[in-house]
Chains A and B, each alone.
Chain A
């Protein structure tokens, strides 16, 4: 039962944060690429910094192991990112 409840609760807060940052709006995403509104960058970088500090603290205290690290394929990641940006700018999502 817990295996079904926990992901739903996590998703709830994840989307809550996204919606509260206003990232459901087309103009928020596209204006980041126009450098008129830096919400996306601020939101992403705060999320990354907070998560990074928490994760590495927990890891050093021995509560978790960092075993989910995304694997790096330089060409794949870079090409995927380049294509992704096109889609993101077109759809604004």
Chain B
């Protein structure tokens, strides 16, 4: 199959996408000596914003030394990630703007947009906060950490699946 045809497939087999992920992570390690991650970038942006508005939080140890207000590697990664996801979805004509995810959400939770947006906002806060506690997110700790055989990544994956399964079970109830 030609290259263009392959790129137009909406969803690849997870194995081939995973190989691309592994190669990208290795390239990042070799080229810039950094690991892929995304939660740290948000905290760097927070740090920059706090400093911009002269918040007293900007003087806390965490935002001064752990996440200094600089244009970090991960913020640049975000720029690339937006471009990459956009290119990929445009190429396969998968790109669309929508306020509510397809089918499954509506079946379980009904068509309320407010509910979706409230839940995703709360979920986002929990995700970012716990990424701060653990020291990374799915990409930064689970993938890049385990890749280097760090026990941190494995512990994180274990915790993530235990509570993820329980939460989904509670949310879905009898539909699980």
Contact = CB atoms under 8 A, between A and B. Distances in A.
Chain B: interface size category: 35 or more
B167 A19 contact: no
Contact of A16 (B14, B27, B28, B84): B84
Contact of B88 (A16, A46, A64, A89): A16
The residue in B12, B20, B162 that gathers the most chain A C-beta atoms within 10 A of its C-beta is: B20
B31 interface: yes
Interface in A1-58: 3-4, 6-22, 24-27, 30-34, 38-39, 42-52, 54-55, 58
The B contact surface, by secondary structure, is helix
Contacts of B119: 90-91
A89 B94 CA distance: 23
A50 B126 contact: no
Contacts of A13: 20, 23-24, 27, 84
A54 B23 contact: yes
A25 B103 CA distance: 11
Contact of B124 (A32, A42, A93): A93
A38 B147 CA distance: 20
B129 interface: yes
A90 B133 contact: no
Given A39-B14, A72-B155, A85 B21 contact: no
Contacts, number: 331
B176 A84 contact: no
A39 to B, nearest CB: 5
Contacts of A19: 84-85, 88-89, 94
A19 B55 CA distance: 36
Interface string B4-44: 00000111101101111111111111111111100000000
A22 B11 contact: yes
Contacts of A79: 130, 133-134, 159
